Amino acid sequence: MGLNINLGITTLRQGAMDGLADAMEHVLNVSNSRVPHEYGDLQASGVASTDSGALEGAVSYDTPYAVRQHEELSYHHDPGRTAKFLENAANSEAGGVRTLIARATHRRVGD
């Protein structure tokens, strides 16, 4: 029986990318539940993205005031809506991110 290392690496990488995409969407959803929300523009600008070449993922918001809303601790928000909405979501969901990546990788690799 031959062992195809390249196929194994490709399969692992595909599983990791599947999981990473799921994980970034999860972090975006959690962050969106915390993002300051007056008209919804900031929340609507949120995007989860991945880079398969670098095996990296990101969540970002694209409004002129996104960084300020994220960093300014003195702003007052509705209950449950906070500054540091993305940072806190990423930190609180780190274990879930690992689990999503592991599950997707396991699905690709099989038993």
Residue-wise pLDDT tens for the chain (111 aa)? Answer: 567 888 888 999 999 999 999 999 999 999 999 999 989 999 999 999 999 888 999 999 999 999 999 999 999 999 999 999 999 999 999 999 999 999 999 998 886
Coil vs helix vs strand at 103: helix
Supply angle C-alpha 102, 108, 111, rounded to 5: 85
2 lies in a domain? no
Helices (H), 1-110: 5-32, 41-44, 66-71, 85-92, 94-109
pTM for this model (two decimals): 0.91
Structure confidence at residue 7 (pLDDT): 85
What does the alpha-carbon distance between residue 64 and residue 53 come to, in Å, rounded to a whole number? 29
> The tokens 């990101």 sit on which residue?
58
pLDDT computed for residue 1 by the predictor: 55
pLDDT at 52: 85
Does a structural domain hold residue 3?
no
Closest of 68, 103, 100 to residue 83, by C-alpha: 68
> Is the residue at 15 inside a domain?
yes
Domain count, the chain: 1
Does the residue 90 lie in any domain?
yes
Question: Do residues 13 and 46 make contact, with C-beta atoms less than 8 angstroms apart?
Answer: no
In this prediction, residue 5 carries a pLDDT of: 86
Task: Determine, yes or no, domain membership for 75.
Answer: yes
Range of the domain at 50: 9-109
